[in-house]
């Protein structure tokens, strides 16, 4: 039994800096630090504005955040029900192995169940075998037949500037 008190709590607007610190730590772990362009103010606006775009929970020891999970709702057209999508989950390395990640995943599963979600899903980097193994212990199944597609940055701007129909002039 750990000597510290464990809790999970939702983030509030004043936590935007802490959320940013967790995102930065996750990005460094994933060797993607160069891709973080979000700011604390971006997070405050998107997570706590109207409407909030996503939610965050913290795993805490003695009320100090040691892990975080950022999630939002999706909609399954096949199920006709919402889903819960986990964008990021991260526990500080010095706090791993204490059950914080598992507790946050169970907490999110409870939220999904309480909110009538038909599924709870996320992605994992193919090289992150410890995470893949951990997710298997939770009963997660890998969906081999789905390949993520992404348009971002200049490619997104270029796509958005295209006419809706190639053989017609752009609509105004």
Q: Would you name the residues annotated as active-site residues?
A: 135
CA atoms within 13 A on the CB side of 92: 14
Q: How many CB atoms sit inside 10 A of residue 112's CB?
A: 21
Spatial contact of 82 and 116, defined as CB atoms under 8 Å apart: yes
Beta-sheet strand order (sheet of 119-122): 6-10, 55-61, 64-76, 81-91, 119-122
Structure token digits, residue 96 = 């791993």
Question: Rounded distance, CA 149 to CA 46, Å?
Answer: 23
Q: How many CB atoms sit inside 10 A of residue 133's CB?
A: 9
């Amino acid at each position: 039994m750990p000597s510290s008190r464990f809790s999970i709590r939702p983030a509030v607007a004043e936590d935007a800096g802490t959320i940013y610190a967790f995102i930065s730590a996750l990005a460094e772990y994933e060797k993607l630090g160069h891709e973080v362009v979000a700011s604390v103010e971006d997070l405050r606006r998107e997570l706590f504005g109207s409407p909030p775009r996503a939610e965050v929970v913290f795993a805490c020891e003695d009320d100090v955040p040691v892990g975080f999970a950022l999630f939002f709702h999706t909609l399954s057209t096949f199920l006709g029900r919402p889903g819960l999508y986990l964008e990021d989950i991260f526990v500080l390395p010095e706090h791993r192995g204490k059950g914080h990640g598992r507790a946050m995943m169970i907490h999110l599963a409870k939220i999904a169940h309480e909110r009538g979600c038909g599924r709870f899903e996320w992605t994992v980097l193919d090289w992150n075998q410890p995470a893949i193994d951990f997710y298997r212990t939770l009963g997660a199944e890998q969906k081999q037949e789905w390949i993520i597609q992404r348009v971002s940055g200049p490619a997104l701007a270029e796509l958005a500037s295209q006419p809706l129909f190639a053989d017609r002039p752009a609509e105004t």
